[in-house]
Structure 1
Amino acid sequence: MSDNEWPRQLPAPDHGDWTEAPQSRGRVLLAAVLVITVLLVAGGVAWRLMSNGTSTPAAQASAAPVPSSTPTVTPCPDPELTVAAAPEIAPLISKFAADLKPAGQRCSPIVVRAEEPGVTVAADDQPDVWVPSSSVWLPIAADRKHVFQTSGATLAWSPIVLAAPPAVAAQYIKDGKTAWTTLIKAVTTEQVPVVTMPDPLLTTTGLLSVHGVHAAAALTTKDPGIAQLRALTLRSRLTRADADPAALITQMSRLTDPGAAAFDVGVFPVVEQQVTAYQKAVPKVPLAAAVPVDGLVQADYPYAVRKGVKTRLAEQLRAAISKPDLAAAGFRTEPTAGGARLPESAKAMLTPAQQWAGFQTVAFQVLLLIDESGSMNERIGAGTETKASLLRESGASAAELFNEETTIGMWYFGAAGAADPAHTEVVPFGPITAGTGGKPRRQALAEQITAYRPRANAGTPLYQSVLDGVDAMRKQAQAGRPSVVVVLTDGADGGTRFAMSNQEFLKRLNAGRDPARPVPVIAVGYGPDANLKALQDMAKATGGQAIAARDPADLASAMAKAFLAARTTS
């Protein structure tokens, strides 16, 4: 075999002629390759350093990205027109807006958001066009410097109805008619187990319902304070005061048992259009609904453009909204006759709603102290009505104001003889739902107030009665159940063996204070003879409130404020 020929087979590993020489040449070749590689790499780095003009290596270009199989979608530009609409009409407005999108264009120039009017009013980002569910929101928005101007006539109307599953509706709907006062009676007599209402500061249904309830109550009495008490009776019995009408409708659509619906949903106000749309879906549990005849209120849907907004596209959208489409969606295209007149000012509309929303349904304990002195027999004005008769009417309404969790008692205070006690218990303290003397405590309370007759020539042991009342309620203190004393008087302390100075009274009142068991005093001073300074002092010392009723006609309103204060003071 010549020197330049390779053998056909390699020798065995232990063959001396082939094991040494090839390994030496392999190591040399491998070493040479490594040296060349290092030199090439080093040279390349050095070249890059020199070409970069710095000691820092130049950045390397990354590998080209692998093309994605999903095409990139360019985000839509900001809309030319933003619209906020009440939830029930927003789908229809969205449809009209979509019809205005130019052919072949993916993005619509109009964006519609569904939200309750109270949410829109509170938002920093105001829409260009607003379709609230009532024009009463426009002055409310204007008070917050959000100025909108209506464009064209009102789009649609829809009255507020009282809706419920048929079994419950039969308790307050007769021959297809109902009334707010009928519902109040059904609630207070426990014929209706559950009533809910939306938040009046966020929703039109809630805001208009509060106005409707007050309008209905005003028809039952000439005194605004008594009317206020009667309206708040419904508020005190609500299972929820912040329910979402749309959520209730959705909840109803999922129910299959009418009996369960009566207790899960019960009675709730809602715009007629939402009930109409619900019934079209043929639910397993239908809704019965009727418009309250004593406080008819209706949603109306204005088309309002924010001041300063370019109107071209806004006008096109307004022109696209058709009455036939609105009617097909369940809205009325004409207003319902006989509706309650709504206040024009935002303050007049919001004040009852704020009081309603701020009303706290708490499980509190209350002791009523009613002045039985002879001055309560004085007449009011030139008529035959007396302070006592007005108190009887106010108190009877107030008795219905307390919720089912209340624990209550009532004393009369007044002493005609030297041996008379400062006060007399006329309704023993206990749960309002429990019995006393063979009848429910709420009924006993109402009967005692109705039978209230001041005693002629009786003095006013105001201070002693308040001291005893606060001490008695302190002994009844329970965690999570605020205790209060509500006192109504038309005079000042005096005329009895219990008389003391205001200084002595406050000294004794402060001496008995226990921060762990607070008992606020809610004091109503009635008439020009009431010692309002003394009432203010006792209220301040106990963390309560003093309410002046300087004019006889203010007594019922003062009573309403007192019972509201009892719920907000703890």
Structure 2
Amino acid sequence: MSDNEWPRQLPAPDHGEWHDPPQARGRVLLAAGLVITVLLVAGGVAWQLMSNGSSQPVTQPSAAPVASATQPSVTPCPDPELTVAVAPEMEPVISQAAATLKPAGQRCSAIQVRAEEPGVTVDAEDQPDVWVPSSSAWLRIAADRKHVYQTSGATLGWSPIVLASPAALTAQYAKDGKTAWAGLIQAVTEDRVPVITMPDPLITTTGLLSVHGVHAATALTTKDPGIAQLRALTLRSRLTEAAADPSALIAQMSRQTDAVTASFQVGVFPVVEQQVTIYQKGGYRIPLIASVPVDGQIEADYPFAVRKGVKAGLAEQLRDAISKSAVTAAGFRTQPTAGGARLPDSAAEMLAPVKQWAQFQSLAFQVLLLIDNSGSMNEKIGAGTATKASLLRESGASAAELFNEQTTIGMWYFGAGSVSDPAHTEVVSIGPIAADVGGKSRREALAEKIGAYGPQASAGTPLYQSVLDGIAVMRPKVQAGRPAVVVVLTDGTDGGTRFAMSHQDFLKRLGAAQDPARPVPVIAVGYGPDANMNALQDMAKATGGQAIAARNPADLASAMAKAFLAARSAT
């Protein structure tokens, strides 16, 4: 094991006075799971604050070395002949192989190896001569950026992405000893998991592959790709941290002495199997349980790639010096696992869901949903029995899960069936999404109302008045760190009610109501071919929002996902 090998960074196990028999430990783990559930139901979030409150030791600066007149001068090493960038978990294996190529007695090495996350390497100005990323997907991304690498020989190793957590927490999201992304999403939405983190998908392979694993899993739950997208974003909306370091989490686990504390401080996180294997060999006090999600199996692979134009001699010697036994001893598999999800072939397809995931902002978000309740929403879609309203009910139920616990939300229906009807009706009052509304949480009330949505048969569309009123209600709520938006969904154009006004008059009133110090963007979804997209684009432009067209009503869920992301970016 080289001096740079990752396990060296973990402290020695501290077993202390551990005398409980296995049966007692089982009871402790079961009790820990029950404690977690009780605390979560109580709605406590103090664990988030406490987990960030650990103090760091203060390091005293060391004295500067004193030069000695008798100290011999040291000739600096020349530039290396070969530079190598390696995924951090594979770096010890490559460094060991490189060390065997340095002539005995020589201080300088012709090979320089650096541990680096693949996303850092892709963006680096100084491209390495040899690259061992943790997924061949990064080679396609690099080629898209004009960094061309050719693989040399067979893939060095493989390591599946697993979901890991302290043993006391695993039962909260695993079923029959098996984990699944869909099961984790359900556990998160039901508040059975206190902490869940993921690495940055634009920097790390674990993050990159996990995002694709989540999307592969949610695609199995529905035939509607838009709803699958909404369900994937549900997990993103509930992450405690979206740029966590799995190595740091494993190191934190190694210092834990209490299973319940570990569950609240470390929680659930994806990681390559190899890192868990190393942890489990260390004999640490709190077990770390990990398994491959059955509904989104995806695997890291480690190609040996040489940059185009680099002389192959020394690179080939390094490649030949890497033995299968060294790869196996480091915790990697030497054969791929069958049945994994297929990754996109192009860099653009690979990065599309990843960028969407990374652009999501976890804010104390305030949103007012304005849903068109006019008669045209009862129209059928195509030759089947589905209507615009039925698609909205299905998509809206999934959308209700997207909002995190810091969200403030309310919902209005707009539509007037008679001269005396108001322009809009409050269906769910504005307030914290987790707060009680009539004996249930506001999130539950929102999902229930959307599930029972039924448009008025002959109602007109007071679109403009409802948007103006919605902005007026949300503007006083805008605070630093608590942005507000209005999300409006309509399938038609303003008209058919006593609130009708010209487009020019609407824009004039909209402009007069703007307050740059307290902006309220409008995110407008035009639903179906009859939606007035010009009007929606104008109101979005005037408020700093965005207009999204769902020309095909079957694309409503995808449009709602885009609207949700647009609302986040607009704030």
Which aligned pairs between 1:373-392 and structure 2 lie closer than 5 A?
A: 373-392=374-393
For 2:282, the equivalent position in structure 1 comes to: 281
Q: Partners of 1:502 and 1:493 in 2: how far apart?
A: 9
Amino acid at match of 2:446: L
Q: Deviation per CA, 1:159-187: give whole Å up to 9, x if none.
A: 00000111111111233311001001111
Counterpart secondary structure, 1:201: coil
For 2:128, the equivalent position in structure 1 comes to: 127
Structure 1 position 106, deviation (Å): 2.1
Q: Partners of 1:334 and 1:528 in 2: how far apart?
A: 51
For 1:245, the equivalent position in structure 2 comes to: 246
Q: Partners of 1:173 and 1:552 in 2: how far apart?
A: 36
Amino acid at match of 1:251: Q
Counterpart secondary structure, 1:270: strand
Counterpart secondary structure, 1:416: coil
Structure 1 position 552, deviation (Å): 1.7
Structure 1 position 522, deviation (Å): 0.5
Unaligned runs of 5+ in 1: 1-65
For 1:266, the equivalent position in structure 2 comes to: 267
For 2:63, the equivalent position in structure 1 comes to: none
For 2:218, the equivalent position in structure 1 comes to: 217
CA contact (8 A) 1:86 1:132 kept: yes
For 1:492, the equivalent position in structure 2 comes to: 493
Structure 1 position 336, deviation (Å): 0.7
Q: Deviation per CA, 1:357-380: give whole Å up to 9, x if none.
A: 110010021100001111111122
Counterpart secondary structure, 1:457: coil
Counterpart secondary structure, 2:154: coil
Counterpart secondary structure, 1:182: helix
Counterpart secondary structure, 1:561: helix
Q: Partners of 1:184 and 1:125 in 2: how far apart?
A: 40
TM-score (norm 2): 0.87
Amino acid at match of 1:416: G
Counterpart secondary structure, 1:164: strand
Larger radius of gyration: 1
Q: Partners of 1:382 and 1:140 in 2: how far apart?
A: 43
Q: Deviation per CA, 1:408-462: give whole Å up to 9, x if none.
A: 0000111112211111111011100101111100000011111111121111111
CA contact (8 A) 1:173 1:290 kept: no
Q: Deviation per CA, 1:343-402: give whole Å up to 9, x if none.
A: 010000101111111100100211000011111111222222111111111111111100
Using the TM superposition, name which of 252-261 and 443-452 deviates more: 252-261
Using the TM superposition, name which of 265-274 and 283-292 deviates more: 283-292
For 1:321, the equivalent position in structure 2 comes to: 322
Q: Partners of 1:467 and 1:175 in 2: how far apart?
A: 53
Amino acid at match of 1:86: A
Q: Deviation per CA, 1:17-75: give whole Å up to 9, x if none.
A: xxxxxxxxxxxxxxxxxxxxxxxxxxxxxxxxxxxxxxxxxxxxxxxxx9843332222
Structure 1 position 553, deviation (Å): 2.2
For 1:50, the equivalent position in structure 2 comes to: none
Unaligned runs of 5+ in 2: 1-66
Using the TM superposition, name which of 476-485 and 524-533 deviates more: 476-485
Q: Does 1:72 align with 2:73?
A: yes
Counterpart secondary structure, 2:526: strand
Q: Does 1:364 align with 2:360?
A: no
CA contact (8 A) 1:157 1:333 kept: yes
Q: Partners of 1:338 and 1:110 in 2: how far apart?
A: 37
Which aligned pairs between 1:392-411 and structure 2 lie closer than 5 A?
A: 392-411=393-412
For 2:55, the equivalent position in structure 1 comes to: none
Counterpart secondary structure, 1:214: helix
Counterpart secondary structure, 1:466: helix
For 2:118, the equivalent position in structure 1 comes to: 117
Q: Deviation per CA, 1:208-256: give whole Å up to 9, x if none.
A: 0000001111111111111111000000000100011111111111222
- Percent of pairs with identical residues: 78
TM-score (norm 1): 0.87
Q: Partners of 1:394 and 1:161 in 2: how far apart?
A: 30
For 2:291, the equivalent position in structure 1 comes to: 290
Counterpart secondary structure, 2:367: strand
For 1:45, the equivalent position in structure 2 comes to: none
Amino acid at match of 2:535: A
Q: Deviation per CA, 1:497-536: give whole Å up to 9, x if none.
A: 1111111111111222222221111100111111111111
Q: Partners of 1:79 and 1:67 in 2: how far apart?
A: 29
Q: Partners of 2:526 and 2:484 in 1: how far apart?
A: 20
Counterpart secondary structure, 1:368: strand
Q: Does 1:188 align with 2:189?
A: yes
Question: Which stretches of structure 1, 4 residues or more, deviate above 4 A after TM superposition?
Answer: none
Q: Deviation per CA, 1:269-305: give whole Å up to 9, x if none.
A: 0000000001111112220111101111100000100
For 1:303, the equivalent position in structure 2 comes to: 304
Counterpart secondary structure, 2:164: strand
For 2:237, the equivalent position in structure 1 comes to: 236
Structure 1 position 565, deviation (Å): 1.1
Q: Partners of 1:541 and 1:458 in 2: how far apart?
A: 27
For 2:435, the equivalent position in structure 1 comes to: 434
Which aligned pairs between 1:147-226 and structure 2 lie closer than 5 A?
A: 147-226=148-227
Cα-Cα RMSD = 1.2
For 2:515, the equivalent position in structure 1 comes to: 514
Q: Partners of 1:139 and 1:79 in 2: how far apart?
A: 27
Using the TM superposition, name which of 526-535 and 200-209 deviates more: 526-535
For 1:97, the equivalent position in structure 2 comes to: 98
For 1:547, the equivalent position in structure 2 comes to: 548
Amino acid at match of 2:283: V
